[in-house]
Amino acid sequence: MYVIKERFFDIGDDFDITDDQGRKVFHVDGKVLSLRNRLVLEDPAGREVASVHRQLVAFRPTYEVSIGGEKAAEVRKALFTPFREKFTIDVPGPDDLTMKGNLFDHEFSVERGGHEVATVSKKWFSIRDTYGVEIADGENHLLILASVLALELALVREHEDEEKEKKEQDEQDD
């Protein structure tokens, strides 16, 4: 299981993704978070192993995941999903993944073809603003972790956009 602190985007600092014993597995470069458009995952030796960046020209929120410098997936919000949010992890070929459940509260699953391949949950922790990512054996752990971080970027951006719209509406009403 991997452990992620939820509020890292509010701080903008670097942070580590650890295993359930607290050992650093990946380091996420938070310096690039100031634009909220890109983050970099590094191995414990400091080598870039993956990155996530927002595609600026896209019909719906879309983030590209690169692993080893190669495009590995696009993570995008699914259109027209009543009553629950859903994001697609579009990988080359037919094996796309879907993140669905309570995305905002970090209680969701990652599925391929209707079969669960990963679970994201806060329930495993008593520490506030911490969640775990449990990934099935044989799955691409780096792809799933980077996709979960892409989702986090998208949700933070969506929240900021809603706050901005609300503020603008309040100013118009005055």
Is 14 in a helix, a strand, or coil?
coil
| Model confidence at 139: pLDDT above 80 | yes
Question: Model confidence over 110-130: pLDDT tens digits?
Answer: 999 989 999 999 887 777 778
Could you give all domains of the chain from N- to C-terminal order, each with its CATH number?
2-173 (2.40.160.200)
For the chain, strand residue ranges (E) read 2-5, 15-19, 24-29, 38-42, 48-54, 62-67, 70-77, 86-90, 97-102, 107-112, 115-121, 130-135
Question: Model confidence over 42-79: pLDDT tens digits?
Answer: 999 999 999 998 877 666 778 899 999 899 999 988 76
| Model confidence at 159: pLDDT above 70 | no
Q: Which residues have C-beta within 8 Å of that of residue 158, sequence separation ≥ 6?
A: 61
Please name every residue paired with 149 in a beta bridge, in sequence order, or none if there are none: none
- More confident of the two residues 146 and 11: 146
The single-letter DSSP state of residue 13 is -
| Model confidence at 6: pLDDT above 70 | no
Q: pTM for the complete prediction?
A: 0.83
Please answer whether residues 120 and 107 qualify as being in contact, where contact means their C-beta atoms are separated by less than 8 angstroms.
Answer: yes
∠ at Cα 35 (77, 41), nearest 5°?
Answer: 75
